[in-house]
Amino acid sequence: MRLPVPTSQRLLPLLAAFVMVQCIYNKTLPLSGDEAYYWVWSHHLQAGYHDHPPAIALLIAFTTRLWGDSVVAVRLAAALAMAATVFVQARLAARIGGDKAGWLAFLLCLLLPAFEMGFTLATPDDPLALFWSTGLLFALSAVAGAGRWRDYVGMGLFCGLAMASKYTGVLLPLSVTLFVALRRPRDLLSPKLWAAGAAALAVFSPVLWWNATHGFESFLFQYRHGSGEATPFDIQHLLQFLGGQFLVLSPVPAVLLIVVAARWRDWWQNSERSLLMLCFLVPMALFLEKALFAKIQLNWALPAYLSALPLLSAFIVAQKRRWLLIAACLLPALALTLALKFPLQMGLTGKHNPHNRLYGPETAAREIERLRQPGDAIMADHLQRAALLSFYLSGHPRAYIPTESRFSEYTRWDRDVDFSTLHGLYLSDDDRSVELGRLFTSVELVEKMHSFHAGGREQSYYIFRVGN
């Protein structure tokens, strides 16, 4: 059976329809605390933040300035970035393995949980996925192909954008450089490669400047976060990470990916395939090493899979029983994605419900809105609750964190605030009356509320009225 070429004229209408359906679904779920925090960033645009580079804030600023401060508009940043990523992945796979591979990569990106989560939650992984994939597309033509100037410069620009999305983006230029050192060592002195490096540095330079003027706090925070606490070797961390990857990638693609990587003679003989494989192996090796000593988040391995998916698609369509393999990949992936998107309907309740973290703070925000009086300042105990209050309360008021909390942008914004002059409502998930008593002469527990979402878990919140 001959499939049509996966051109933009064929893919873009399908992606547009998928994004529309995704937006309808996204509207049904409350924002997560992280998403709300990135939305707050979008109203304080700068070249860097304590937690991450600025790309996600810029994307959210773009969609919300056009369509308003709504859940759909915030998550439209994620849906658009991931839709563009799917398009680029299909192009990559078609280049490596032909039209059938392009269409398979297209379907895998739409169904695999690792990618499906990106369509819903607006996080730094969304722009990282787009810029990493596009950087790979340019790299195939630059260091593994004809090597035109525009390909090298394009590769550099998108490497810089990937780093400006999430600091793990630095693994892309490192992997490309390793490929050049192993396969084309003479090109290490090529002016084109150095021009690519200059382009990446130029794009990333605002983030470097911001870090230099803030004691490199963002670099240090992510390094410590990524490395975890100094702990001894613990095989449990590694097993949890590996088990999680079988879930986010789904079992059959995960196994087939190991098979593809193990057949090193097949991919090493081809420049394009060896480049993609190195861009998979380098990040994965780093995360596996870190998983021996610290808990690694499942989404961190996404860049590695972006590099490997075109290879996986090309491998599958080259097999004699490809339709059996395609069904074995897509059907479990569809089941896992349905469980992720509709956990109650799939029987996932209590601690197994992946939506647990989304519900609760929104209910507390509605109660704060009911209790709110004119002139009330809005305060919370944590950056996520503070951001969610700002998002959900009418007028999107500024929120403060007067009590002890981890360092965040709120720490910077609240640095010159005299809390003794404020009076209003304070939200926390535990009893902070003693700590509040050191800041305010009047501390009244207005309500201890319980939030429960069907199929989820009960959460408790304390609402205080404070003042002097």
| Lookup: tokens for 440 | 């305010």
Give tens-digit pLDDT for 422-433: 999 999 999 999
Q: What is the reported pLDDT for 45?
A: 97
Which residues does residue 460 pair with via DSSP β-bridges, in sequence order? 450
Distance CA 229, CA 52 (A): 19
User: Taking a C-beta distance cutoff of 8 angstroms, is the pair 407, 445 a contact?
Assistant: no
* H or E element, residue 93: helix 71-97
Question: How does residue 21 score in pLDDT terms, banded at 50, 70 and 90?
Answer: very high
Question: What integer is the mean pLDDT of 445-451?
Answer: 91
Question: How does residue 232 score in pLDDT terms, banded at 50, 70 and 90?
Answer: low
DSSP-derived pairing of the beta strands 424-428 and 377-380: parallel
Question: What integer is the mean pLDDT of 130-155?
Answer: 96
Give tens-digit pLDDT for 361-373: 889 999 999 999 9
Q: Can you point out the beta strands (E) in 323-433?
A: 377-380, 399-400, 424-428
| Lookup: tokens for 110 | 């739409």
User: Taking a C-beta distance cutoff of 8 angstroms, is the pair 443, 419 a contact?
Assistant: no
Question: How does residue 235 score in pLDDT terms, banded at 50, 70 and 90?
Answer: confident
Q: What is the pTM of this model?
A: 0.95
User: Taking a C-beta distance cutoff of 8 angstroms, is the pair 389, 371 a contact?
Assistant: no
Residue 456 scores a pLDDT above 80: no
Distance CA 108, CA 112 (A): 6
Least confident of 118-127, 244-253, 271-280, 301-310: 244-253
| SS3 label, residue 239 | helix
Distance CA 348, CA 71 (A): 24
Q: What is the reported pLDDT for 228?
A: 54
Give tens-digit pLDDT for 377-420: 999 999 999 999 999 999 999 999 999 999 999 999 999 999 98
User: Taking a C-beta distance cutoff of 8 angstroms, is the pair 393, 378 a contact?
Assistant: yes
Q: What is the percent of the chain with per-residue pLDDT over 70, rounded to a whole number?
A: 97
Q: What is the reported pLDDT for 229?
A: 52
Q: Is the dihedral of CA 276, 277, 282, 287 positive or negative?
A: positive
Least confident of 20-34, 248-262, 293-307, 418-432: 293-307
| SS3 label, residue 462 | strand
| SS3 label, residue 443 | strand
Reported residue count of the chain is: 468
Average of per-residue pLDDT values in the chain: 92
Better pLDDT: 457 or 164? 164
Distance CA 194, CA 5 (A): 35
Distance CA 344, CA 259 (A): 35
Least confident of 89-103, 223-237, 243-257, 403-417: 223-237
Q: What is the reported pLDDT for 132?
A: 98
DSSP-derived secondary structure for 401-437: --S-----HHHHHTTT--GGG--EEEEESS--HHHHH
Give tens-digit pLDDT for 185-198: 999 999 999 999 99
Dihedral angle over CA of 118, 123, 124, 127, nearest 10: 50
